[in-house]
């Protein structure tokens, strides 16, 4: 039986300066029981982003951790959601009651809005998030939300993300939707722009 894992960034603030955590949740597939390993492109993309963002976060006293799911699929949601709740509990056990921002790409953004009701979570940043039209928003009550989506995304819909943010704004503390023109799903084009939006959104929440 595989288990989820947490990978802290190589660049981190000193232990006595950690004031919060950025928990990154990578993407996946609608249906898959494949184990997440080093061959997972979704995980590798998030590792690249983690390395790019960790220095700025560390300078602000934030520890960046990437969670890897047990398997690649959403599969109805229970697996990724359980894994993310496990990660939040691990953070709490290791670091105490620190505020957490969830930074999720694609399926990771969907997972994030399901576990945002955890007491430690102060906000969610979704990058090219998978937020279907019927996705519940109640877990975001009192939390901050930013969705960043490319207008050329052919995997998830930026218009659905926009509608989700509109619905979430009725319960969230703040809710913002950003459209990146001519950007796609995998954050390869305009990578520095994706990174800048992710960095700035996180730092406004914590």
pLDDT, tens digit, for every residue of 95-146? Answer: 999 999 999 999 999 999 999 999 999 999 999 999 998 999 999 999 999 9
Domain boundaries, given as residue ranges, for the chain: 5-205
The torsion region of residue 140 among left (phi > 0), alpha (psi -120 to 50) and beta comes to alpha
Q: Which CATH architecture has domain 5-205?
A: 3-Layer(aba) Sandwich (3.40)
In this prediction, residue 97 carries a pLDDT of 96
Q: CB neighbours of 145 closer than 8 A, spacing ≥ 6? A: 113, 123, 124, 126, 165, 168, 169, 172, 174, 175, 176
pLDDT, tens digit, for every residue of 18-67? Answer: 999 999 999 999 999 999 998 899 999 999 999 999 999 999 999 999 99
Alpha-carbon distances of 115 from 15, 16, 35, 51, 88, rounded to whole Å: 26, 27, 22, 24, 9
């Amino acid at each position: 039986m595989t288990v989820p894992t947490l990978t802290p960034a190589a660049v981190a603030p000193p232990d006595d300066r950690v004031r919060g955590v950025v928990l990154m949740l990578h993407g996946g597939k609608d249906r898959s029981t494949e184990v997440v390993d080093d061959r997972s492109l979704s995980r590798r993309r998030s590792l690249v982003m983690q390395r790019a963002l960790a220095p700025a976060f560390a300078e602000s006293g934030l520890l960046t951790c990437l969670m890897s799911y047990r398997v690649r699929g959403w599969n109805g949601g229970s697996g990724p959601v359980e894994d993310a709740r496990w990660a939040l509990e691990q953070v709490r056990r290791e670091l105490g009651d620190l505020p957490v921002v969830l930074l999720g790409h694609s399926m990771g953004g969907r997972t994030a809005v399901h576990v945002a009701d955890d007491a430690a979570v102060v906000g969610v940043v979704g990058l090219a998030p998978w937020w279907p039209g019927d996705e519940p928003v109640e877990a975001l009550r009192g939390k901050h939300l930013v969705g960043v989506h490319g207008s050329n995304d052919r995997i998830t819909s930026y218009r659905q993300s926009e509608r989700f943010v509109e619905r979430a704004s009725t319960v969230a503390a703040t809710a913002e939707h950003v459209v990146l023109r001519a950007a796609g799903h995998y954050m390869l084009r305009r990578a520095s722009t994706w990174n800048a939006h992710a960095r700035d959104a996180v730092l406004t929440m914590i």
